[in-house]
Structure 1
């Protein structure tokens, strides 16, 4: 009979194991950005969100407020970066900047471009829009009605988030609690087609579970944000419908590391996860669309130092 207790593996270790697997065994490929990746096909991570637990990495600092502001922006249906810029959120700036330089011929720096977005509302309206990305599809999926003259006219948009919340309340056993971002007809108008594309919710024993399918995943920079954001959405939806948070099941398609992230990868794999950060939601708004950044409080988060790496655009 073993007298020693079995050492419990830290939930973050599965993320580090995935990173190591990709870096050591992934296929080296040429990608859209021209930088190159090491990639594997298919991966899964599972996180229990009970008792306030969140998949918030401790082996480097993750700016969870930035990710939260992005999620709240998605829920507004907004597609222009200006509301993010005015909050100091930088994660979407590179895409409209690259488009501006290409189309205008003005080789302005990223910082100068972002300052113009903040200062000039008309400039932001022209150059700050990302097309019908995430939030637009989530809360205003376009519809078209057939007319007797053989043409189509624009119908009322579909608020997928509101519909899923309604179905969770009234038909929790449904297998159709889905929020979909992959609108094939509008992909060519998006600055970046959705990576975290399909969310499916599942109710069991009073708990709300979520399966997220992500078609493309930058494990070093993107996934830490994606895990937090998905878990945050589960926590908000669970609160709105009177369920306890359950399990977040993340599934990736093309799961990769960029070749120019080697320093980040080496540094992070040399670190050991520690601590168990939790999230407190300080109030219950009337709807899921009424949360504010101050409603979220993280406890017991003492991450190791940030690790910087370039974003591939």
Structure 2
């Protein structure tokens, strides 16, 4: 008979996914030229109701970077300058590659980042990522009729657009049983203008018994490097939305489309799978801000985070 008295560590599900993709994944060529091993249609579930957060312990994950990136998304940010001011460099690779390609300047990443921070005009030209996550979450394009008379109706773009996050919070508060509690970053009309089309594409929410649960569909899932950040980001957002809507956290469900491990991440996989998970940390808020846009970094208190050392691995651009 199965032993149901022993509850597995929740991180084990992630480790099993990492191992399964590495062992069983189909070899695939990808746009980066590195190559991956991939499976399609994978699922993870995490219980957030006890205050714990899916912040991996089998390697060090920078929760501070995750918080700052999420606040940047919610602020509608599309330029890396505010991130670099906070020492967050996870978005530098794409504009740096573009700058080197278009100018022929073999500038180092450190010097490129320093110039972005110091030179506003340079940052405006080379630090912008196009209409990525923040633009779609907070300013989804909206076109309204002009006042031009005649047979041909002309339209202009409303600079504010549609604030999907504000609408989501309103709907959770006023219509919690709606099946439309969702937002997306997958704007087909603007994909070509983005430095990187959204990997975590669509979020959906569900209210039951006073708890808010969330679901994330992710089209492209780098299990070794990206997914640990993605599951924590989505869980943080559930906690923020729950606090703003006077609900308790429920469950986070993650769906992965093309779920892959890069061929040059073998050392990462072997090292991480050799480690034993430690107890997951908990999150508490230092206060309840007036709105979803008023959170500051200092509002997030991660308690009792213990982990094994970080594992370095190359990022494919």
User: Is TM > 0.5 for Structure 1 vs Structure 2?
Assistant: yes
Displacement of 1:145? 2.1
Q: Secondary structure at the match of 2:73?
A: helix
Asked if residue 77 in structure 1 is aligned to residue 76 in structure 2, the reply is yes
Q: Distance in 1 between matches of 2:50 and 2:15?
A: 23
Asked if residue 224 in structure 1 is aligned to residue 228 in structure 2, the reply is yes
Q: Distance in 2 between matches of 1:169 and 1:6?
A: 38
Q: Distance in 2 between matches of 1:102 and 1:290?
A: 38
Displacement of 1:212? 0.3
Q: Distance in 2 between matches of 1:119 and 1:135?
A: 23
Q: Secondary structure at the match of 1:260?
A: helix
Alignment of 1:166-185 (within 5 A): 166-185=170-189
Displacement of 1:276? 2.4
Q: Secondary structure at the match of 1:242?
A: coil
Tell me which residue corresponds to 1:154.
157
Tell me which residue corresponds to 1:288.
292
Query: Alignment length, in residue pairs?
Result: 312
Q: Distance in 1 between matches of 2:302 and 2:161?
A: 35
Q: Distance in 2 between matches of 1:310 and 1:173?
A: 43
Tell me which residue corresponds to 1:266.
270
Tell me which residue corresponds to 1:18.
17
Q: Deviations over 1:253-308 (max 9, x none)?
A: 00000011110110001111121211111100000001011111111111011100
Tell me which residue corresponds to 1:163.
167
Once the two structures are overlaid, the 10-residue window that deviates more, 254-263 or 268-277, is 268-277
Q: Distance in 1 between matches of 2:180 and 2:240?
A: 19
Q: Distance in 2 between matches of 1:82 and 1:236?
A: 25
Alignment of 1:43-58 (within 5 A): 43-58=42-57
Q: Secondary structure at the match of 2:31?
A: coil
Q: Distance in 1 between matches of 2:4 and 2:105?
A: 64
8 A contact 2:56–2:280 mirrored in 1: no
Q: Secondary structure at the match of 2:161?
A: coil
Question: TM-score scaled by structure 1?
Answer: 0.97
Asked if residue 237 in structure 1 is aligned to residue 246 in structure 2, the reply is no
Q: Distance in 2 between matches of 1:5 and 1:114?
A: 52
> Could you say if the C-alpha distance between residues 265 and 146 of structure 1 is closer, same or farther in structure 2, counting changes exceeding 3 Å?
same
Tell me which residue corresponds to 1:38.
37
Q: Distance in 2 between matches of 1:10 and 1:173?
A: 32
Once the two structures are overlaid, the 10-residue window that deviates more, 261-270 or 98-107, is 98-107
> Please, which runs of 5 or more residues in structure 1 have no aligned partner?
none
Question: TM-score scaled by structure 2?
Answer: 0.96
Tell me which residue corresponds to 2:125.
126
Tell me which residue corresponds to 1:252.
256
8 A contact 2:54–2:280 mirrored in 1: no
Q: Secondary structure at the match of 1:101?
A: helix
Q: Deviations over 1:43-93 (max 9, x none)?
A: 000001012110010100010010110000000001000000000001000
Q: Distance in 2 between matches of 1:144 and 1:169?
A: 27
Q: Distance in 1 between matches of 2:260 and 2:153?
A: 46
Q: Deviations over 1:114-140 (max 9, x none)?
A: 111011111001100000000110011
Alignment of 1:96-115 (within 5 A): 96-115=95-114
Q: Distance in 2 between matches of 1:261 and 1:282?
A: 37
